[in-house]
Every structure is written in C-alpha cells, then in structure tokens.
Amino acid sequence: MFTGIITDIGTIRSAQQRGDLRLVIGCGFDMSTVAIGASIACSGVCLTVIDKGPDWFAVDLSAETVSRTAQGAWGTGRALNLERALKIGDELGGHIVTGHVDGIGEVASISLDGDSHRVTIRVPADLAPYIAPKGSITVDGVSLTVNAVTDGKDGTTFGLNIIPHTWAVTTFGKLTAGQPVNLEIDVLARYLHRMREHAAVA
C-alpha cells in the first residue's frame, strides 16, 4: 500500500530486455533501509526490489506490466516518481493507493493559473464512471484531488490544480500535452461500483 505522496524522483539508468524488462533505477533513498523484496511505487506502479546498491535498485517488469502502463515510461533516462511502501504508523497524507494501474490517460492541456498549473487529462471510457469532482485520483503515482469532470461527445476529461510544490518535487514539471500517464482510481470508487453492479443482478 502507498499514499501517493512522492518522496523522491528516480532516474532509469538502464533498461535491459531479458525474459522480462530489467530496470536499474537511481534514487536518493537510503538503500541500507530497503530490503530485497520490498515494494517501491515507480510512477504509480508497485514494483519489487530484486537487487540494490548504495544509490540504486533494480526491478523486473513483466510484459503484462509494460503493456498496461504509459507508453515510453520505461526508457533509459526517464524520470520516475518514487514512493516507498506505507508502514504502520506512517502519516497518511494522500489517500490509499495500491500501485495497480487501472488505465492510461492522456494529458489534454496544461495552463498556468497564478503560480499553479491547471492540467486536464483525457480518460478511457471504462474509467470515466469512477472519477468524480473532489474525489481522489492517482496520476503517475501522485495522489491528487479532481477539480472537475467533463463528459462530452469526444469522451471524458478531468481537471487538476497542481500547486507549485507538487510541480517541483514530482515529474509533473516535465509534463507535456499528449503525454500518456498512469491512472489509478480511488479504491473506494472501485468497490462502490462493484457493489452497485452486483446489487443490480442480485
């Protein structure tokens, strides 16, 4: 489990296609406190540490994981939002995040609003029912509050307000229009939707 509060920006130092995709990720974590087998969320994807050094860790991505996450996210030199797994007693600053990507969104627009940035993201039709104004959403591993949702003939978009701090300490500072992003819907929305579906057929 995670909270969507990013604690470091890592960089992919190498990406090697073996049976799976092996990534070596440079980071600022104290790796002496990270065990082999620990989980680290990498731009919203829960991955397992399989090797490590003083300032890096390695993970393996299956073909399934690569196919279900943002295209181009796993190339050498790519910056990643990093978060270590939640510990009992930690402050829950964001919302409950599982690190399982539900779908891929696309950045539709970015504009300045005072010192903040307004970001609009286009979502797949199957995720649209789970996104609500003032609800929680995870974008590339970052816990955010949805400002508004717009349903139209061209599909559904939702808007975010990214404060300067979040813009500076995550990979959002490198966002561009048209960029794919990993989305995880609020786990409560997922269960509520399932309960309604089940009640309708019971």
Of 113, 129, 100, 116, which is closest to residue 197 (Cα–Cα)? 129
- Domains annotated on the chain, with CATH: 8-84 (2.40.30.20), 103-201 (2.40.30.20)
**Digit-coded pLDDT (tens) for 95-114:** 889 899 999 999 999 999 99
Residue 94 pLDDT > 90? no
Whole-model pTM over 0.85: yes
Residue 31 pLDDT > 70? yes
Print burial letters for 164-191: b (CB count within 10 Å at least 16), e (below 16).
Answer: eebbebbbbeebeeebbbbbbbbbebee
What is the Cα–Cα distance from 39 to 35, expressed in whole angstroms? Answer: 9
Please tell me the predicted confidence (pLDDT) of residue 202: 66
